[in-house]
Amino acid sequence: MPSLGTSFGRGGATTFQQDLQNSDCIVIQGSNMAECHPVGFQWVMEAKARGAKLIHVDPRYTRTSALADIHVPLRAGSDIAFLGGIVNYVLEHDKWFHDYVVNYTNAPAILNEDFQDTEDLDGVFSGLDRDKRSYDVQTWQYAGAEVQAASGQRDQEYDERVEQGHSTKEAGRGSSTGSGGSSIGGEPERDETLQHPRCVFQVLKRHYARYTPEMVEQICGVPQHLFLQVCEELTNNSGRDRTSAFVYAVGWTQHTVGVQYIRTAAILQLLLGNIGRPGGGIMALRGHASIQGSTDIPTLFNILPGYIPMPHAHKDEDLDKFIEAEAPKKGFWADMRAYTVSLLKAYWGAAATAENDFCFDYLPRLTGSHSTYETVLAQLDGTCKGYFLLGENPAVGSANNKMQRLGMANLEWLVVRDFSLIESATWWKDGPEIETGELKTADIATEVFFLPAAAHTEKNGSFTNTQRMLQWHHMAKEPDGDARSELWFMYHLGRIIREKLAASTDEMDRPLLDLTWDYPTEGSIEEPSAEAVLAEINGWDADGQPLASYEQLNEDGSTVCGCWIYCGVYADGVNQASRRKPAKEQDWIANEWGWAWPANRRILYNRASADPDGKPWSERKALVWWDEEKALWTGHDIPDFSASKSPWHRPPSGATAAEALSGIDPFVMQADGKAWLYVPAGLTDGPLPTHYEPQESPFTNPLYGQQRNPVRQVLPPKQHNRYHPSAGAAGSDVYPYVATTYRLTEHHTAGGMSRFVPYLSELQPEMFCEVSPELAAERGLEHGGWATIITARSAIETRVLVTDRMTPLTVQGRTLHQVGLPYHWGTSGYSTGDSANELAHMSLDPNVHIQEVKAMTCDIRPGRRPRGPDLVRLVETYQRRAGITEETGTGV
């Protein structure tokens, strides 16, 4: 979530689904909300019943489109052009919210003289190192001040910030940038009139000037009248008295430039003044029950709980240098030391002391990207020898299933914990490579352990849902047989390892042996107490009393807190996440149901719902406001602002952290208190979103000479991870169509929880593709018959659904056909079929290392796919026809 994090300060949805009922216009794009979030969709229907306009922008006409006022089909992979077009419309037609933009965003900030935009460099930003395929981001900074990001890549300028030393650097930077201003801690130069040619507002205006309605039509295949209809609805429904919301999901993230899709929406919503206000915001829809929770308390390699960055392997980096390099000087992230020390105390308890840097050295260090896809390469290289899969089915759910399976086939051991025998547990005996003869069971040395998992009704714990809300669930019964919870597995695994190492004197084992690992257990299966874990996540003070707020955390080791943003979830020793006061007994915000981070605030940055003087922008859209008499912020939601900080407060010079925030700085996590239209730090692929073509595209980029995201992460084109030629290159016509993957209501992700269930399987019993009648005619596909879909990675077969809901588009004067592919199926279960992810490649977004499965090229032909070795030969024949080598598609 670095897109939302760098734009606003926190990597989570800015609003909650119930608030959608207050919207005057809802744009759902990159999401099929009615199908994938049907329960939350009731609030969209509620808004519609109150008169809101509903717009669905999606390559396919789906169950969401069926209920929308406007459906805009667009070419998969072209959303930045579409949204950038709206940004241009808003600026050109003067539809932006002046007072909001000037006061609450970084529009007035003046940029470094050395910054060069894509306008200047034909599609790339200043600082691009083509050999290293990365940006030096120094020129992206403000003039007069360097700011640190609240999210994303915060280690970018480690050397500048730490090793040259603070004072050296201030001088050095000042002269090197020619700005003559101070560096860290300084105030950025600003032009409140927004006229300075280097102010963010003017740069933005120039950047998007070429995103005209004509250009949108050329890139997206969206007729101008339809595009302008969206512009008008959105702008007519934004302003003092009206608000519009954006809703997105993985239709935006799963691209080689996915983070920037969301950034474009952030820019648009800021220009329209729609953030922090009822009925506004950007609703990030997460695809699983606790995916927000698994970034808050991460299963990711590059962050620690509460979005504290994972330290990199710098020489002699200690806690001081870590904080120096990664924390800003202003806003609540300036207290990162208190959050980090409290976390280290939660990990290592009494062993963590001021003298030993609170065991900072015990933390692992990053040596590069260690995402799930690099892990697969490491498996193939033989450096990764063991693999735990907990609730994950990469043999179906991850891009390029063959690479996933071949990686697993090269492991020493594999542990799969799931409800059923998913494909990732059985590929060694019935996977596609066994059928083709590429793998032989007898030759596979991987030792596979399958451990049955407990269901949510068989364990205590919390889910953090899509709107940052924790809801507790209770064990209804102990799990049957050998099934156990993840908590049980992790706790007892740790316990046993620690017992085995107890006598060790090896220093390497200290981090394990010094861990606090003393959770009480309950019941016949010795289930660890989930509530004890929650209490530790919440944290306690020196007297062992539960903390109520992260503002109580200290740097001196006197407080313990496992995740600072969750501090307060166990306030007063009460499990706040298990609160269940019915909606009818409270107002629409319902803040006594569960508990949301931070501090149970439901709409983030809600200070921005009031004008600079603290009055609501309009009565209709009042949320929080300054109460003159009480000298306090008050309102419907809990203010996301220091409660007693008056709107007219201006910090004294030299103030730091939260003290440095003024009364008109609603984005309290940001290093300058403002929302970022332009991101001077924290993203690896540009301070402003720019349309690039996907890794594989039948079209050239009409905006610039730069075809693709120059710093997209292209994993080595191993034998089974070949890329297609794109438009302009020979052989691109071998894969002339665009394929996009998605989910259906009837199934869940990689199918482990649905394809094994008869009641769900019968509703969508077979893998199918969706094609337009025109494509069916062009390729001789028969409705209800079979089709084979081919890429350079593999070929799969599907049943054919010919439907008017798939429409041809006219892009750059040519007809484009798109193929829809649900990705739920695999070889195991009650309902089986080929997996769409067999077709996908491993070119990734450089910020979050996510696969590009929402837009890739393919061919489609009638009939079933060949069986056995003939399947491999078909894929190779296509590769040869397209002239594919290991170089294809890997250029910058």
Partner 1 sequence: MSLDLPRAMRKALYDDTDPAAVSGHEDHPPRMGFFTDTSVCIGCKACEVACKEWNHVPEDGLVFTGMSYDNTQGLGADTWRHVAFIEQRKPIARQEPGVQHDVPAGQSSDLRWLMASDVCKHCTHAACLDVCPTGSLFRTEFGTVVVQEDVCNGCGYCIPACPYGVIDQREGDGRAWKCTLCYDRLTVGMEPACAKACPTDSIQFGPLDELRERAGRRVEQLVEAGVTDARLYGHDPDDGVGGDGAFFLLLDEPEVYGLPPDPVVTTRDLPAMWKHVGVAAATLVAGVAAAFVGGGRR
Pair 792, 838: CB distance under 8 Å = no
765 is an interface residue for partner 1 by CB under 8 A: yes
Distance CA 760, CA 756 (A): 8
Interstrand relation of 386-390 and 308-309 (parallel, antiparallel or unpaired): unpaired
Q: Indicate which single residue of 381, 480, 762, 870 sits in contact with partner 1 (rule: CB under 8 A).
A: 762
Q: At residue 764, what are phi and psi to the nearest 5 degrees?
A: -135, 85
35 is an interface residue for partner 1 by CB under 8 A: yes
Q: Which is nearer to partner 1, 184 or 811 (CB)?
A: 811
Distance CA 743, CA 750 (A): 9
CA 99 from centroid of its chain's CA atoms: 30
212 is an interface residue for partner 1 by CB under 8 A: no
Distance CA 637, CA 621 (A): 12
71 is an interface residue for partner 1 by CB under 8 A: yes
| Burial (CB count within 10 angstroms: exposed 0-12, middle 13-18, buried 19+), residue 148 | buried
Q: Indicate which single residue of 25, 27, 68, 341 sits in contact with partner 1 (rule: CB under 8 A).
A: 68
What is the closest distance, in whole angstroms, from the C-beta atom of residue 223 to partner 1 in the complex? 8
Q: Indicate which single residue of 8, 16, 61, 625 sits in contact with partner 1 (rule: CB under 8 A).
A: 61
For residue 331, the 8-state DSSP code is S
Distance CA 805, CA 808 (A): 10
Q: Which is nearer to partner 1, 61 or 248 (CB)?
A: 61
Q: At residue 451, what are phi and psi to the nearest 5 degrees?
A: -120, 120
153 is an interface residue for partner 1 by CB under 8 A: no
521 is an interface residue for partner 1 by CB under 8 A: no
768 is an interface residue for partner 1 by CB under 8 A: yes
What is the closest distance, in whole angstroms, from the C-beta atom of residue 100 to partner 1 in the complex? 30
760 is an interface residue for partner 1 by CB under 8 A: yes
285 is an interface residue for partner 1 by CB under 8 A: no
774 is an interface residue for partner 1 by CB under 8 A: yes
Closest of 9, 4, 72 to residue 807, by C-alpha: 72
Six-digit token string for 578: 């298990």
What is the closest distance, in whole angstroms, from the C-beta atom of residue 68 to partner 1 in the complex? 7
What is the closest distance, in whole angstroms, from the C-beta atom of residue 483 to partner 1 in the complex? 21
What is the closest distance, in whole angstroms, from the C-beta atom of residue 753 to partner 1 in the complex? 13
Stretch that binds partner 1, among 237-245, 544-552, 643-651, 768-776 (CB under 8 A): 768-776
What is the closest distance, in whole angstroms, from the C-beta atom of residue 501 to partner 1 in the complex? 47
What is the closest distance, in whole angstroms, from the C-beta atom of residue 757 to partner 1 in the complex? 9
Q: At residue 463, what are phi and psi to the nearest 5 degrees?
A: -110, 135
734 is an interface residue for partner 1 by CB under 8 A: no
The footprint of partner 1 on residues 237-276 (CB under 8 A) is: none
451 is an interface residue for partner 1 by CB under 8 A: no
Residue type, 272: L
State the virtual CA torsion across 372, 373, 377, 378 in degrees, nearest 10. Answer: -20
Distance CA 884, CA 303 (A): 37
Alpha helices in 369-473 (DSSP H): 372-381, 394-397, 401-408, 423-430, 432-436
In what helix (H) or strand (E) does residue 712 lie, and over which residues does it extend? none
**Cβ atoms within 10 Å, residue 175:** 10
Residues forming a β-bridge with 702:
none
73 is an interface residue for partner 1 by CB under 8 A: yes
Interstrand relation of 53-57 and 70-72 (parallel, antiparallel or unpaired): parallel
What is the closest distance, in whole angstroms, from the C-beta atom of residue 765 to partner 1 in the complex? 3
What is the closest distance, in whole angstroms, from the C-beta atom of residue 676 to partner 1 in the complex? 33
125 is an interface residue for partner 1 by CB under 8 A: no
Number of helices (H), then strands (E), in the chain: 26, 29
Positive or negative: CA dihedral 67, 71, 74, 77: negative
How large is the C-alpha radius of gyration of the chain? Answer: 27
Place of tokens 């007898």: 442
What is the closest distance, in whole angstroms, from the C-beta atom of residue 253 to partner 1 in the complex? 23
Q: Indicate which single residue of 81, 226, 282, 677 sits in contact with partner 1 (rule: CB under 8 A).
A: 226
Distance CA 77, CA 708 (A): 11
50 is an interface residue for partner 1 by CB under 8 A: no
Distance CA 237, CA 810 (A): 29
439 is an interface residue for partner 1 by CB under 8 A: no
41 is an interface residue for partner 1 by CB under 8 A: yes
Interstrand relation of 469-473 and 461-464 (parallel, antiparallel or unpaired): antiparallel
What is the closest distance, in whole angstroms, from the C-beta atom of residue 63 to partner 1 in the complex? 5
What is the closest distance, in whole angstroms, from the C-beta atom of residue 34 to partner 1 in the complex? 4
837 is an interface residue for partner 1 by CB under 8 A: no
What is the closest distance, in whole angstroms, from the C-beta atom of residue 825 to partner 1 in the complex? 12
Q: Which is nearer to partner 1, 101 or 800 (CB)?
A: 800
Q: Indicate which single residue of 511, 773, 862, 866 sits in contact with partner 1 (rule: CB under 8 A).
A: 773
What is the closest distance, in whole angstroms, from the C-beta atom of residue 460 to partner 1 in the complex? 24
What is the closest distance, in whole angstroms, from the C-beta atom of residue 49 to partner 1 in the complex? 8
What is the closest distance, in whole angstroms, from the C-beta atom of residue 39 to partner 1 in the complex? 5
What is the closest distance, in whole angstroms, from the C-beta atom of residue 745 to partner 1 in the complex? 5
Distance CA 322, CA 312 (A): 9
User: 171-180 — which CB contacts under 8 Å span 24+ positions?
Assistant: 173/146, 177/112, 177/113, 177/114, 177/141, 177/143, 178/113, 178/114, 179/112, 179/113, 179/143, 179/144, 180/144
Q: Indicate which single residue of 713, 741, 761, 879 sits in contact with partner 1 (rule: CB under 8 A).
A: 761
Q: Indicate which single residue of 764, 791, 818, 857 sits in contact with partner 1 (rule: CB under 8 A).
A: 764
In what helix (H) or strand (E) does residue 745 lie, and over which residues does it extend? none
398 is an interface residue for partner 1 by CB under 8 A: no
Q: Indicate which single residue of 63, 133, 288, 498 sits in contact with partner 1 (rule: CB under 8 A).
A: 63
778 is an interface residue for partner 1 by CB under 8 A: no
25 is an interface residue for partner 1 by CB under 8 A: no
Stretch that binds partner 1, among 30-38, 259-267, 430-438, 584-592 (CB under 8 A): 30-38
HEC letters along 638-671: CCCCCCCCCCCCCCCCCCCEHHHCCCCCCCCCCC
Pair 10, 4: CB distance under 8 Å = yes
Distance CA 425, CA 727 (A): 39
Q: Indicate which single residue of 367, 759, 813, 887 sits in contact with partner 1 (rule: CB under 8 A).
A: 759
746 is an interface residue for partner 1 by CB under 8 A: yes
By rule CB under 8 A, what string of x and - marks binding of each residue 802-821 to partner 1? Answer: -xxx-xxxx-----------
361 is an interface residue for partner 1 by CB under 8 A: no
For residue 322, the 8-state DSSP code is H
Stretch that binds partner 1, among 103-111, 318-326, 635-643, 771-779 (CB under 8 A): 771-779
By rule CB under 8 A, what string of x and - marks binding of each residue 612-641 to partner 1? Answer: ------------------------------
Q: Which is nearer to partner 1, 70 or 872 (CB)?
A: 70
Using CB under 8 A as the binding criterion, the count of chain residues that bind partner 1 stands at 51
456 is an interface residue for partner 1 by CB under 8 A: no
Q: Indicate which single residue of 512, 763, 874, 892 sits in contact with partner 1 (rule: CB under 8 A).
A: 763
Residues forming a β-bridge with 771:
802
Q: By CB under 8 A, name the binding residues for partner 1.
A: 34-35, 38-39, 41-42, 45, 61, 63-73, 223, 226, 229, 744-746, 758-766, 768, 772-774, 783-784, 799, 801, 803-805, 807-810, 830-831
